[in-house]
Amino acid sequence: MTVIFPKWTNKIPTLVAGAAAFAGAFVTFVVWYWFSPKNTDVGYAPVQPVQYSHKLHAGVMGMDCRYCHQNVERGPRATIPTTETCMNCHKTVLTDRPEIKKLHAAHTSGEPVQWVKVHMLPDYAYFDHSVHVHAGVGCASCHGRIDQQEVVRQVEPLSMGWCLECHREPENHLRPLDKVTDMNFVPDPKQGESFLSERNLHPPEHCSACHR
């Protein structure tokens, strides 16, 4: 007898059904993921080894973010300042306070202060500060009113849906370039439209932009 369908083909329906179930699950996952409320770590505010206050330094004293986060316009990471930067003032300011003594100890020993990371993307997601800052997206759009925080707290989800929400409608978040660190400035969508075309901005939505 001629074998038209070899025996293994009996398994095809099962395989097809399996593949369909898998594809279905995948689609469900993607849809769920896409539209799910922004999960993640909003509210995370770890205790830091030195009680440094943004409210005091950036708020009351009005220091610019870039005085300490020196790489924020130059590369992917904003960077946390070295003890050296604090010592510009605290070599002489409030030297008798316990918190400042910790800084002096770190400075003398050369052992950096072990600041606890607050915001953190998984390794498979790529993010670059300088691109966003040069496009005119302010720190406040992603980090909130840091100048009012005693302790830094994550206020935005940093989820994929959150990234894409702005990439689809960036005009709501664009500001004059000299206002990127201004915590009081509120972006105006009308003005944002013109920044979008003037600056020729194209926030990507394709996967490989953020997953390289």
168, two tokens:
């689809």
Residue from 57, 74, 104, 153 touching ligand HEC (CB under 6 A): that is 57
Q: Give residues 96-135 in contact with ligand HEC (rule: CB under 6 A).
A: 97, 99-100, 103, 115, 117-122, 125-129, 131-133, 135
Instruction: Name the residue among 143, 141, 157, 147 with its Cα closest to residue 192.
Output: 141
State the minimum distance, in angstroms, from the CB of residue 32 to ligand HEC: 10
The minimum distance between CB 8 and ligand HEC, in angstroms, equals: 33
**Stretch 26-55 residues interacting with ligand HEC (CB under 6 A):** 33, 40, 48, 50-52, 54
Residue 155 interacts with ligand HEC (CB under 6 A): yes or no: no
List, as own/partner pairs, every contact residues 173-180 make where C-beta atoms lie below 8 angstroms and the sequence separation is at least 24, other chains included: 173/137, 173/138, 173/141, 174/135, 174/136, 174/137, 174/199, 174/201, 175/136, 175/137, 175/138, 176/136, 177/134, 177/136, 179/138, 180/133, 180/136, 180/137, 180/138, 180/139
Please, which of residues 168-207 interact with ligand HEC by CB under 6 A?
Answer: 170, 173, 180-181, 183, 201-205, 207
Distance, CA of 208 to CA of 192 (rounded, Å): 26
How near is the Cβ of 106 to ligand HEC at its closest, in Å?
9
Burial class (CB in 10 A: 0-12, 13-18, 19+), 152: buried
- The binding track of 12-31 with respect to ligand HEC, each residue x by CB under 6 A or -, is --------------------
The answer to the question of residue 159 lying near ligand HEC (CB under 6 A) is yes
Nearer to ligand HEC, 5 or 32 (CB): 32
At its nearest, how many Å lie between ligand HEC and the CB of residue 75?
9
In the complex with ligand HEC, the residue whose CB is nearer, 20 or 56, is: 56
User: Measured from the CB of residue 90, what is the shortest distance to ligand HEC in angstroms?
Assistant: 6
Residue 140 and residue 166 in contact, taking contact as beta carbons nearer than 8 Å: no
Query: Which residue in 152, 155, 175, 195 binds ligand HEC (CB under 6 A)?
Result: 152
Take residue 202 and report the two structure tokens written for it: 């194209």
